[in-house]
Structure 1
Amino acid sequence: MSGDKKPEAPSPRFAMDASLGDSELSHRLLVLCATMMAIPAFFWGGIYAYFGEYKAAAIAWAFTVISIATLFLFRKAKGYRLLRESQLFLTLMLPFLVMLELDGFINSSAVIVWSLISPMGALVFASRKTAIYWFVAFIFLILIGAAINYHAPALEKGLPPELVTILFVMNLSGVSIVAFILLVYFVTQKEKTYSLLEMERGSSENLIRNMLPEAIGERLKQEQRPIADRLDNVTILFADISGFTSYAMNRPPEEVVSLLDRIFSHFDNIISQHGLEKIKTIGDAYMVCGGLNDDAKAGANEAAAFALEIMTYVKQLAQASPEPLGLRIGINTGSVVAGVIGHSKYSYDIWGDAVNIAARLQQTARTGDILISEKTAQLLENAFTLKPQGETGLKGHTPVVTYTLLSKSIGG
């Protein structure tokens, strides 16, 4: 089957590229944050060493060396997880060890606040569940620090009070900067996710609009099931490309599908200019209907105008083809049952004797003719030029009075 509506949707390749792009961005941000912490740690170590706190300096420098080593070892994307876990652990533990060496919160200028970056980083780079574990570990270290601070004399290690104050400012400012960067990234990713969700929602709504009438789509989004209606005075049109079977037998598949797609895509474009609803394609047959909005006269008139337009288009197309291609159209108006079937692949369809008559009219029509029933003709009134055909026998159905639709009437 060809010619069905094919709504645009994000390609798997695009989705995969977007996923890779997010992973690469996360890796780069993690490297940036690790670097932003490793470089200050080096200078912190220098300050501690200058004032004789060599063990604290060694811890700070160890942080820098280990961070740079992990950045080098896990620099590729496939090492992202190892880099993340190692940085979370280093960020949590090494500031705590410095605090232990300097005897508590105050003496260390609250250096342990750097450990807060660990659960924040886990929230951004891992998951909420993982972040909770790291946060609990951080709180536990804070409690240990509080106990140490309670028993430690102020400035036991001999750091000048002015330096302690400066380090307080530097620690709080440094943590705030890194935390702010992580928060900006988190918010950016959140907005990006919302944007992608909105795009997916738009794609889903476009899919529904292309597959179903607008009113039916709204009911489906409200989870109204089953969707089934009895509709009166619906005009059904069947159009079949005559000569297409022999054409397809003598052409490569790509050429056959390309022609059918070209024809039915043009039909789709014409439908968009009329108040009609495409139901489906069956091989080289095309089915539409009008009057679903209870306006029987408008539905019949739009179907007739559509029939004349596509007939003209196929005749022009046939002039450039070596094969004798043509169009046969049948139109009928009557009562139908309409509804949505399926759960994973929705399909809106109509059933009833009126549909069968329209299909039989198309089968009975000669190539180049538009054969319509008497009921449809009555709705057209004087807007179109019709040629009476009298009673016409239909295969598998009782005869019906028919007309050939010739053209629009002047001023109609």
Structure 2
Amino acid sequence: MKSIFALILICVIFMDLEYVLFRDRSVVELTTDAWIFAACVTALVIMHLTRRMDVSYVVFACMMIPVFMFELWIAGNKHGALYTFAIFSIWTIAAVGPKASIPMFIVCVAVVIISVAIEPYLPRMRTEFAMTASNPEGWLFHNPQKEPIGRDEALTFLFGLSILYAGMYSAQSALNQANRRIEHLLVNVLPPSIAARLTERDEHDFLDGGATIADAHDEATILFADIVGFTEISSKIPPDEVVALLDRIFGTFDDLAELYEVEKIKTIGDAYMAVCGLPEPNTHHAVNIMEMAIAMLDAVSRIRTESGSQIHLRIGINTGPVVAGIIGRRRFLYDLWGDAVNTASRMESHGEADTIQVGRNTYEALKDAYEFRALGNIKVKGKGLLPAWQLIGRRRIAPLEGGDAAAI
């Protein structure tokens, strides 16, 4: 839209120059041409500096409406000057939005009505500044080339403008509402900052693989949680109850993730994956993840199946450098890669029910604030022997992001 508006401004500049260079223009007309040229250049400069079409367009319209108002009084509807106000009204909808366009529509309608009303009463003025070959006597408001705006013409124009404006207003409102729904869905699938970067991509990027996003992060803390024995649980209850149970559990986890400024990555079956420290930096990422993990165990302890069975959770946590981003061309998913991610997954899979097991990096980051039991080296498939620690409890109140303290 910005490119189209800029192209229109450039075309108007060239048309203006053509009038100045190749047509017989009076001083009054040349002054009008100069003002139009200045309005176009000003709008282009503002859009270049601010990168905002709405600001640029409003400035342009405010400079141009008085010019065309004066043009109507001098030349009437010559060359369709009247319909310029229809263009202003419709373009304002796209430039600043439907609701914000209403004042401009009212102004344009008012200008036309005022011009039609006062045109018969404009003074018969002659000035040398209005003299041209086609207007040798220099009539300002009653020159021989003037095409007055008749009452019927004005009524037809205003009726047509109202219908066109109402249609465009409705269409743009529906489009904006659809875009808001899409944005809402997108930020529920991807982190807001990643969603914003993705929406800025050109549509051809998605076909050419250009939608790939990959960011290296020096340090983040990853959490994996798995419902222990869920396969057995799900075999004893109807499918709809399985889904309802998972939705209740994971919905609770989502609320906790928002509370502790943790980014949910995905769910895989009955497993839940989250991270803190990306895509937005968080200096307390390890503490926030640990507090969320403790809250998850507490929340699950209060959840029962319809038959009254207790839900048990196994959690693994690790800290370290990761690569995060989006790959592929369809059904985009924000994901993490790296040894720290694999270790966190292994901490979970080799842990015990209702416990939180952490790797060395997380232990080193939290050992002053939390008490752990050393498990020694555990044999991990694909990783060999890895040291692991099991959380016992808090040593003291742990600070969270923003200076708040973790609840004990």
Normalised-by-shorter TM-score class: 0.5 to 0.7
Deviation at 1:193, TM superposition (A): 1.8
Deviation at 1:294, TM superposition (A): 7.2
Q: Is the 8 A contact 1:340 1:348 kept in 2?
A: yes
Q: 1:281 aligns with which of 267, 271, 292?
A: 267
Q: Is the 8 A contact 1:241 1:284 kept in 2?
A: yes
* Cα displacement string for residues 218-275 of structure 1 (whole angstroms, at most 9, x for unaligned residues): 3222326431122222211100011211111111111110110111111111111122
Q: Is the 8 A contact 2:326 2:332 kept in 1?
A: yes
* Cα displacement string for residues 284-303 of structure 1 (whole angstroms, at most 9, x for unaligned residues): 00001111257565111111
Identity among equivalent pairs (%): 36
| Structure 1 position 410 matched with structure 2 position 388 | no
What do you get for the CA RMSD once the two structures are aligned?
A: 2.7
* Cα displacement string for residues 166-212 of structure 1 (whole angstroms, at most 9, x for unaligned residues): xxxxxx76775565344323212212222222222222322332222
Q: 1:366 aligns with which of 352, 361, 386?
A: 352
Q: How does 1:293-312 map to 2 (within 5 A)?
A: 293=279, 295=281, 297-312=283-298
| Structure 1 position 218 matched with structure 2 position 196 | yes
Structure-2 change in CA distance of 1:294 and 1:215 (3 Å): closer
Choose between structure 1 and 2: higher helix proportion.
1
| Structure 1 position 352 matched with structure 2 position 343 | no
Q: What letter is aligned with 2:163?
A: Y
Q: 2:235 aligns with which of 228, 237, 249?
A: 249
Q: Give the equivalent residue in structure 1 for 2:166.
A: 188
Q: Is the 8 A contact 1:297 1:379 kept in 2?
A: no
Structure-2 change in CA distance of 1:297 and 1:175 (3 Å): closer
| Structure 1 position 237 matched with structure 2 position 223 | yes
Is the partner of 1:382 in helix, strand or coil?
coil
Q: Which 10-residue stretch deviates more, 314-323 or 242-251?
A: 314-323
- Residues of 2 paired with 1:174 and 1:251: CA distance? 75
Greater relative contact order (CA < 8 Å, ≥ 6 in sequence): 1
- Residues of 2 paired with 1:194 and 1:281: CA distance? 37
Structure-2 change in CA distance of 1:308 and 1:320 (3 Å): farther
- TM-score computed with the length of structure 1 as normaliser: 0.54
Deviation at 1:341, TM superposition (A): 1.7
Structure-2 change in CA distance of 1:405 and 1:189 (3 Å): farther
Is the partner of 1:392 in helix, strand or coil?
strand
Deviation at 1:306, TM superposition (A): 0.8
The structure number with the bigger radius of gyration is 1
Structure-2 change in CA distance of 1:228 and 1:293 (3 Å): closer
* Cα displacement string for residues 59-101 of structure 1 (whole angstroms, at most 9, x for unaligned residues): xxxxxxxxxxxxxxxxxxxxxxxxxxxxxxxxxxxxxxxxxxx
Q: Give the equivalent residue in structure 2 for 1:200.
A: 178
Q: Which 10-residue stretch deviates more, 335-344 or 318-327?
A: 318-327
- TM-score computed with the length of structure 2 as normaliser: 0.55
Q: Give the equivalent residue in structure 1 for 2:257.
A: 271
Q: Which runs of 5 or more structure 1 residues have no equivalent in the other structure?
A: 1-119, 121-171
| Structure 1 position 382 matched with structure 2 position 360 | no
Structure-2 change in CA distance of 1:197 and 1:401 (3 Å): same
* Cα displacement string for residues 12-71 of structure 1 (whole angstroms, at most 9, x for unaligned residues): xxxxxxxxxxxxxxxxxxxxxxxxxxxxxxxxxxxxxxxxxxxxxxxxxxxxxxxxxxxx
Structure-2 change in CA distance of 1:383 and 1:307 (3 Å): same
- Residues of 1 paired with 2:236 and 2:251: CA distance? 23
Q: How does 1:10-409 map to 2 (within 5 A)?
A: 177=155, 180-223=158-201, 225-293=211-279, 295=281, 297-318=283-304, 322-409=308-395
Structure-2 change in CA distance of 1:321 and 1:306 (3 Å): farther
Q: Is the 8 A contact 1:242 1:326 kept in 2?
A: yes
- Residues of 2 paired with 1:260 and 1:190: CA distance? 45
- Residues of 1 paired with 2:171 and 2:242: CA distance? 42
